[in-house]
Amino acid sequence: MSANTPPRKKVVITGKKAPVASTAKSKRSEYSGSDETLLYGRTQYLLMGAGVLLIILGFVLMAGGSMPDPETWDESVIYSGRRTILAPIVILSGLGLEIYAIFKRS
């Protein structure tokens, strides 16, 4: 220290501090109040459920179907319009509904 600088002041805190509870039980009771609110509203959850159902329906439309005979190849079974056009549209609409439900304001 140089001769021109003033001496540092010491800060002394007196009094008792409130005890801090560090148990898991006190943390649980702190957050278990009855004033909890959900992140989304009822309509958002209903829209999300409808989106999941649309996605599942799209996968069901895309699945299934086998060749009547293992020795023959039938393109109309594999490349049907239900599997190549309708099912992807239903799946994408379900995903779009999910995105809309997430970003919709209450």
Give the residue extent of every domain in the chain: 37-103
Is residue 97 within 8 Å of residue 47, measured between CB atoms? yes
Residue-level pLDDT at 84? 92
pTM: 0.61
How many C-beta atoms lie closer than 10 Å to residue 55's C-beta?
Answer: 18
Token pair for 92: 């994408």
104 contact partners, CB below 8 Å, separation of at least 6? 43, 44, 47
Confidence class for position 27, pLDDT limits 50, 70, 90: low
